[in-house]
């Protein structure tokens, strides 16, 4: 009698994101906000119930609007905001992130379009210079991000979040573009340390996510989909 039910739970595949409760996905974003700010050396502001409520409502709004990857979109918008000094000071709580989300999303969209336009312009300029004169165009100045990536190329391992380390070193190079070798080595080590901290926080966050989903499934008959455990209760 119990065999069909057992097979039903065993055959269930990974839960689509929309079946993961909005509150759990909101907690993921709040953890990301707190961990990123801590890794950047910004003032930590632990999330409270009002922050969770605000971000949960944002998740539900994006889901209702048909967003195919709500968590991915929120993470991209949050990371872009924290990479901007002005916005990083504003986005210090979940409530502010939820309130400013549409503005921050527009900033990301505009910056992506600007970057794409510049790439096209550079590509067109290079083709024109090569076809008209046969000469190579002047080498563009190396960006701080490219320079940081080159300085850290042989030192980033599996225990380091590369994007965090590169951003951290690029920010220091913006403030001190021509450090002596000793200072440059110190900047690199601090950047690598930030990358290790972020990677450790990511591992902890993933572990917490897995545990939360496991506990939620266990308390609802083995699935995040409400229809399954409601059906089980009815039987």
Weakest mean pLDDT among 13-17, 29-33, 75-79: 13-17
Handedness of CA 5, 10, 11, 16 (dihedral sign): positive
Q: Which of 6 and 53 is assigned the larger pLDDT?
A: 53
Q: How confident is the model at residue 66 (pLDDT cuts 50, 70, 90)?
A: very high
Which pLDDT score, from 0 to 100, does residue 222 have? 61
Report d(CA 84, CA 115) in Å as an integer.
Answer: 15
Angle between helices 94-133 and 49-64 (to 10 degrees): 50
In terms of phi and psi (left: phi > 0; alpha: psi -120 to 50; beta: otherwise), the region of 41 is left
Q: What is the mean pLDDT of residues 130-154?
A: 70
pLDDT value at 23 more than 90: yes
Q: Which of 50, 62, 49 is nearest to 22 (CA)?
A: 62
* Residues of the chain above pLDDT 90, percent: 26
pLDDT of 65 over the 90 cut: yes
Give the C-alpha separation, 125 to 50, whole Å: 51
pLDDT score at 26: 94
User: Which pTM does this prediction carry?
Assistant: 0.54
């Amino acid at each position: 009698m119990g065999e069909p039910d057992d097979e039903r739970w065993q055959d269930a595949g990974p839960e689509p994101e929309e079946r993961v409760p909005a509150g759990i996905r909101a907690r993921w974003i709040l953890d990301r906000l707190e961990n990123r700010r801590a890794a950047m050396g910004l003032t930590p502001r632990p999330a409270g119930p009002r922050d969770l409520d605000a971000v949960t409502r944002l998740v539900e709004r994006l889901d209702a609007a048909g967003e195919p990857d709500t968590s991915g979109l929120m993470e991209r918008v949050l990371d872009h905001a924290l990479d901007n000094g002005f916005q990083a000071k504003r986005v210090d709580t979940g409530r502010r992130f939820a309130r400013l989300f549409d503005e921050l999303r527009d900033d990301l969209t505009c910056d992506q379009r600007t970057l794409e336009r510049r790439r096209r312009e550079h590509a067109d300029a290079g083709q024109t210079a090569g076809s008209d004169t046969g000469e190579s165009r002047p080498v563009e100045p190396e960006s701080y991000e490219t320079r940081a990536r080159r300085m850290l190329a042989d030192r980033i391992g599996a225990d380091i979040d590369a994007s965090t380390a590169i951003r951290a070193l690029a920010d220091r190079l913006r403030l001190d573009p021509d450090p002596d070798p000793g200072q440059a080595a110190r900047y690199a080590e601090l950047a690598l340390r930030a990358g290790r901290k972020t990677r450790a926080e990511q591992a902890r966050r993933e572990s917490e996510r897995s545990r939360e989903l496991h506990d939620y499934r266990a308390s609802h008959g083995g699935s995040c989909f409400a229809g399954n455990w409601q059906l089980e209760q009815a039987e």
